Amino acid sequence: MLAGARRAVVFTGSGVSAESGVPTFRGAGGLWREYRAEDLATPGAFARNPRLVWEWYAWRRDLVMRCAPNAAHLALARWMAASEAVTLITQNVDDLHERACEQGGAAVPPTRLIRLHGSLFEVRCTGCGWSGGYRGPISAESEVTLPQCDRCGGLLRPGVVWFGEELPEDALNRAIAVAGSSEACLVVGTSGAVYPAAGVVHAAAAAGAAIVVVDPGETAFDGIAAVKLSGRAAEVLPGILPL
């Protein structure tokens, strides 16, 4: 199914990074101190306590920086380098797909790697709206040490989509369009619980694409999958991608 598709999309969630050591959202290890992601990743949480939210993001950035792409990221990067027919759409805010592509020596154009939920390594100004990449240190010692905008001095916030916020319109539209003209959709490591991102898979299914799910647990897509492979991404993907 994957080899025969003239256009294919890959839709990934936090499970694809689990074997790199990044905790999934709803699985064990998804807690930081006593907080759940749903309690910290909201505009209200940031308004109430920006220091706490930045501290959490600083911890997650450090964690991801110490992790490396696993065999699943690397197999997907090889497939993308081998075939221009493949577009990867991720809900993840880590940078492990990009790093896998770089390690493979193939610069994948941004049009073929669509991020729906932003990135841990981007920031946005709460004052003037400027946004860009940021990999520098973060000190959440006090409100005045938090990252500030070079342009207007406003407070910077993480460049990720929080609960209750809109997804970047351009990225979502491109994702739905490419999924809606695909012949195969490989879904890896996502429970499918979060919309509108999960709508990407339904757009592919509505277009007649074969849905292939790789996940050791139950997912919301199991009922529409042509094939469900109940296994871990890093074990399954290297064996099934048409390379």
Q: How far is the CB of 57 from ligand OAD (least distance, A)?
A: 11
Number of other CB atoms surrounding residue 70 within 10 Å? 23
The answer to the question of residue 18 lying near ligand OAD (CB under 6 A) is yes
How far does CA 150 lie from the centroid of its chain?
27
167 touches 116 (CB < 8 A): yes
3-state secondary structure of 234: helix
Does 123 sit near ligand OAD (CB under 6 A)? no
Backbone angles phi, psi at 49, to 5 degrees: -150, 75
By DSSP bridging, strand 131-133 and strand 113-115 are: unpaired
Scanning residues 20 to 39, which ones bind ligand OAD (CB under 6 A)? 24-27
Q: Which of 154, 216, 238, 242 lies at the binding interface for ligand OAD (CB under 6 A)?
A: 216
Residues tagged active-site: 117
Binding mask 57-96 for ligand OAD (x = CB under 6 A): ----------------------------------x-----
Residues 108, 102: Cα–Cα separation, whole Å: 8
Residue linked to tokens 């490396």? 68
Q: Judged by CB under 6 A, does residue 14 bind ligand OAD?
A: yes
Question: Does residue number 193 form part of the binding site for ligand OAD (CB under 6 A)?
Answer: yes
Q: Which residues bind ligand OAD (CB under 6 A)?
A: 13-15, 18-19, 24-27, 41, 91, 117, 161, 189-191, 193-194, 215-217, 219, 232-233
